[in-house]
Amino acid sequence: MNPDHILATYPILLSPATPEALERLLVDNGIPVARAEAGLCGRHRFGIHSRDEIDFTDRFGVSHAIAWQELIPGAMTVEAIDAELARSECWAWQENEVTIDESIVRGTFGDSVVERLRNRIRSHGVPWIRLAPWPAGFEGVFNFRFDLDEPDFEDWRQVVRIVDSAGVEPGVTWFLSTRAASRIPEACSLLAGRDVQSHGHWHHCHASDPGLNAENIARADRFLRSAQFRPTGFAPPSGRITPDLAGHLARYEYRYLSGLGDLSGSLPRTDILGLTHIHAIPVCEGAFLEAGIGDAETVVSGYMAAAARAVSRDRPIFWFGHPDRRLGRKPEILRRLLSAASEFGRLWHVGLGAYADWFRARNRIALTVASDERYPGKLSLQWHSSSRTVPEPVIWIEHEGRRWPVVCGGTSGQASIRLDQRHSTPIPAALPVPECWPALPGNGLRSVIRTALDWERETPVESLRGGPLARRVKGFLRRSTDKAWQARFAPLAWPREDRTGERAA
């Protein structure tokens, strides 16, 4: 039992009625929390409970109880925490004067819940303490995700060459559209030994046809396994995330889902099935090239502006791009990008799967922070985990604009720290986010029909037989028009015949 003069500032105790989704959100943000259990003793400074648990503070020795309902903004409900993970939405914004629209997952709701908790804790003059989203000794975490969408072997090979000569492979993950790969006999040997993951078999995620999404994931998985890859991650084509995806991926024991995240990057999040959502910063070369801007300077500064916003919010630099027809033909853009990332300091270059594993291990660390009323300004930290997390995580203690790092090594350990100016760094100021607006489909008849049918020319026509009515109608239209449509592109170098008019992502 803690003596009376010792007060545990962290973990924040969660009452039995505190929603599990809220606990997951706080753990993903590195905030030390623990479920209150019967027989728990000692004094705890903060607890989160439900408004109707009136005996919570007395039962568990909590000084300040925060009702979880007060952390949920406005008319929202706690269900919104998981709902915002489950589906991407189309947003548009300007990056370096180019309008980008992408299907992205914004973490706005989760961020505002955490912000409310932080304000409550800080209003008591208490430091804000959390486990950092990257290990000790690094100033950030970096990954470049290449989406291989179209069967263009020369472009793929060019990008592999650049990646190899830049020596950044540990921080590169290749997401393969296996239908494209199946048309290139040398594709698998080119990518052998690299971090290769699934981008689906065909390049479309169906808005309301879970059966086709399941088939797409299954076919890609079969292809990758038969080529000796061991996929654990899936990046949905065009960044489109639908609520059925997580269930399909859980069945194949995938561990992470990589879509496109917030305009300033996203912290990883864990869903109810245990899948880690690791999204890329939603700025890629394609938006600039499609707008007719091909000079490396503009494209690189677009990526860099978004990365600077991410860094200013302590978020990972997870970039994405496309070798086929783009980076493979604009090698100077890729070379500049790979060297420009070093401007953000010492970054941990890591594959997305390895990062997801590290993040999950970090989330299992139990952290206690106690203060002794006899020694103001001094904090005692203790941590414990059932297994060692490598590389070593770091605890950030933040107070009055400064940050103190404490390396959290081994399976357990302790440290004590006095919060004076020495050994601290200023907390970065968050850079402004560009204004964004919903990118809605048009309301003309053509757009309405396209949306109703979830129109595309990516799904193999043989998969569009039978099933729901919309699938059958699309199958009929595709069988009657595909040939004529393909012929339109025959004489053009760009798009090529494999190009089907859907935007790559």
CA distance between the termini of the chain = 55
In this chain, which stretch among 11-19, 80-88, 149-157, 439-447 interacts with Zn ion, using CB under 5 A? Answer: 149-157
Nearer CB in complex with Zn ion: 349/503: 503
Instruction: State in angstroms the smallest separation of the CB of 264 from Zn ion.
Output: 22
Nearer CB in complex with Zn ion: 147/262: 147
Instruction: State in angstroms the smallest separation of the CB of 206 from Zn ion.
Output: 15
State the Cα–Cα distance between residues 479 and 31, nearest whole angstrom.
Answer: 54
> Which positions from 43 through 102 interact with Zn ion, judged by CB under 5 A?
none
CA 442 to chain centre: 29
Residue 280 burial (C-beta neighbours within 10 Å; 0-12, 13-18, 19+): buried
> Which positions from 234 through 253 interact with Zn ion, judged by CB under 5 A?
237
CB atoms within 10 A of CB 100: 25
In this chain, which stretch among 96-104, 142-150, 311-319, 374-382 interacts with Zn ion, using CB under 5 A? Answer: 142-150
Region at 494 (left for phi over 0; alpha for psi -120 to 50; beta for the rest): beta
Question: Residue ranges of the alpha helices (H) in 41-107?
Answer: 56-60, 68-71, 80-86
Instruction: State in angstroms the smallest separation of the CB of 176 from Zn ion.
Output: 10
State the Cα–Cα distance between residues 272 and 270, nearest whole angstrom.
Answer: 7
DSSP state of 456: -
Instruction: State in angstroms the smallest separation of the CB of 148 from Zn ion.
Output: 8
Nearer CB in complex with Zn ion: 95/458: 458
CB-side neighbour CA atoms (13 Å) of 375: 11
Q: Name the CA radius of gyration of the chain, rounded.
A: 24
Instruction: State in angstroms the smallest separation of the CB of 190 from Zn ion.
Output: 18
Nearer CB in complex with Zn ion: 18/178: 178
Question: By the 8 A CB rule, do 473 and 453 touch?
Answer: yes
Instruction: State in angstroms the smallest separation of the CB of 239 from Zn ion.
Output: 8
Nearer CB in complex with Zn ion: 88/385: 88
Q: Which of 343, 308, 306, 322 is nearest to 239 (CA)?
A: 322
Nearer CB in complex with Zn ion: 199/309: 199
Over the window 13 to 42, marking each residue x when it contacts Zn ion by CB under 5 A and - when it does not, the resulting string is ------------------------------
State the Cα–Cα distance between residues 406 and 102, nearest whole angstrom.
Answer: 38
Nearer CB in complex with Zn ion: 111/147: 147
Beta-strand relationship, 276-277 and 256-257: parallel
Nearer CB in complex with Zn ion: 321/409: 321
In this chain, which stretch among 92-100, 147-155, 350-358, 463-471 interacts with Zn ion, using CB under 5 A? Answer: 147-155
State the Cα–Cα distance between residues 148 and 200, nearest whole angstrom.
Answer: 10
- Torsion angle, CA of 93/171/325/296, rounded to 10 degrees? 60
Nearer CB in complex with Zn ion: 127/237: 237
Residue 147, interface with Zn ion (CB under 5 A)? yes
Over the window 181 to 220, marking each residue x when it contacts Zn ion by CB under 5 A and - when it does not, the resulting string is ----------------------------------------
- Torsion angle, CA of 369/372/377/379, rounded to 10 degrees? -20
Instruction: State in angstroms the smallest separation of the CB of 486 from Zn ion.
Output: 20
Beta-strand relationship, 394-399 and 98-104: unpaired
Contacts with Zn ion: how many residues (CB under 5 A)? 5
Instruction: State in angstroms the smallest separation of the CB of 159 from Zn ion.
Output: 14
Question: By the 8 A CB rule, do 91 and 264 touch?
Answer: no
Helix (H) or strand (E) holding 7: strand 6-10
Instruction: State in angstroms the smallest separation of the CB of 235 from Zn ion.
Output: 7
Q: Which of 428, 371, 432 is nearest to 401 (CA)?
A: 428
State the Cα–Cα distance between residues 84 and 60, nearest whole angstrom.
Answer: 32
Nearer CB in complex with Zn ion: 311/504: 504
Instruction: State in angstroms the smallest separation of the CB of 324 from Zn ion.
Output: 9
Strands (E), 111-192: 128-131, 140-148, 172-176
Nearer CB in complex with Zn ion: 356/505: 505
Instruction: State in angstroms the smallest separation of the CB of 175 from Zn ion.
Output: 7
Instruction: State in angstroms the smallest separation of the CB of 146 from Zn ion.
Output: 10
> Which positions from 476 through 505 interact with Zn ion, judged by CB under 5 A?
504-505
Residue 149, interface with Zn ion (CB under 5 A)? yes
Tokens of 128: 């804000």
Residue 458, interface with Zn ion (CB under 5 A)? no
Residue 314, interface with Zn ion (CB under 5 A)? no
Q: Is 229 in a helix, a strand, or coil?
A: coil
Question: By the 8 A CB rule, do 5 and 61 touch?
Answer: no
Over the window 96 to 135, marking each residue x when it contacts Zn ion by CB under 5 A and - when it does not, the resulting string is ----------------------------------------
State the Cα–Cα distance between residues 359 and 135, nearest whole angstrom.
Answer: 10
> Which positions from 281 through 300 interact with Zn ion, judged by CB under 5 A?
none
State the Cα–Cα distance between residues 18 and 40, nearest whole angstrom.
Answer: 17
Nearer CB in complex with Zn ion: 15/258: 258
Nearer CB in complex with Zn ion: 260/381: 260
Instruction: State in angstroms the smallest separation of the CB of 483 from Zn ion.
Output: 24
Residues that bind Zn ion (CB under 5 A): 147, 149, 237, 504-505
